[in-house]
């Protein structure tokens, strides 16, 4: 019985590693090196405000390019693309949608006809905020 559980755990971990490697390779193929201004391969997505507290959150790749903030979740496979010119606010918060305890990067942006918010745990929140402010020209629009 213990060998069966151990074998299942090993297979599960190996599968997650393969998915992780596949997503990294895919991202590197899809975006040229000069387009990747900032990348966090282990960012933790805390969700979007419009879907409320009962949504799936998870780890993935967060990438800042010259025109977009892009997040690709590992499992389940989801992709969010936020055009930098739709961003109205960038901040560091301690929680999002009822989940607290970490410094998070929070981005408020216009999505279709309403205001949306999304948040991520990233390695260097202050650097992400600095680069997003520069690239989104948010200060120039105020």
Residue 45 lies in a domain: yes
Q: What percent of the chain is predicted at pLDDT more than 90?
A: 40
| Residue ranges making up the domain that contains 45 | 2-136
Q: Collapsing DSSP states into helix, strand and coil, what is residue 4?
A: helix
How high does pLDDT run on average in the chain? 85
| pLDDT at residue 134 in the model | 92
The number of folded domains in the chain is 1
Residue 42 lies in a domain: yes
**Rama region for 137: left / alpha / beta (φ>0; ψ in -120 to 50; rest):** left
Residue 142 lies in a domain: no
Q: Is the pLDDT of residue 91 over 90?
A: yes
| pLDDT at residue 40 in the model | 92
pTM over 0.85: no
For residues 71 and 120, is the Cβ–Cβ distance under 8 A? yes
Q: Average pLDDT, stretch 18-39?
A: 76
CA distance 111 to 106: 15
CA distance 140 to 106: 19
For residues 47 and 60, is the Cβ–Cβ distance under 8 A? no
State which H helix or E strand residue 15 sits in: helix 2-30
Residue 141 lies in a domain: no
Provide the CATH number for the domain around residue 108. 2.30.29.30
Residue 32 lies in a domain: yes
Comparing CA positions, the residue from 65, 81, 63 lying closest to residue 23 is: 63
Quick: pLDDT tens for 62-74: 999 989 999 988 8
Residue 26 lies in a domain: yes
Residue 23 lies in a domain: yes
Q: Is the pLDDT of residue 139 over 60?
A: no
Work out the burial of residue 93: count CB atoms within 10 Å of its CB; fewer than 13 is exposed, 13-18 middle, 19 or more buried: middle
């Amino acid at each position: 019985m213990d060998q069966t559980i151990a074998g299942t755990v090993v297979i599960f971990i190996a599968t997650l590693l393969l998915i992780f490697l596949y997503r990294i390779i895919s991202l590197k193929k899809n975006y040229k090196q000069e387009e990747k201004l900032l990348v966090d391969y282990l960012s933790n997505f805390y969700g979007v405000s419009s879907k409320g507290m009962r949504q799936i959150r998870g780890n993935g790749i967060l990438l800042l390019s010259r025109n977009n903030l892009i997040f690709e979740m590992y499992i389940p496979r989801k992709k969010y693309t936020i055009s930098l010119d739709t961003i109205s606010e960038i901040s560091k918060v301690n929680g999002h949608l009822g989940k607290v305890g970490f410094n998070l990067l929070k981005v408020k942006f216009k999505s279709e006809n309403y205001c949306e918010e999304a948040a991520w745990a990233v390695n260097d929140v202050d650097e992400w905020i600095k680069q997003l402010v520069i690239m989104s020209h948010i200060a120039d629009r105020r």
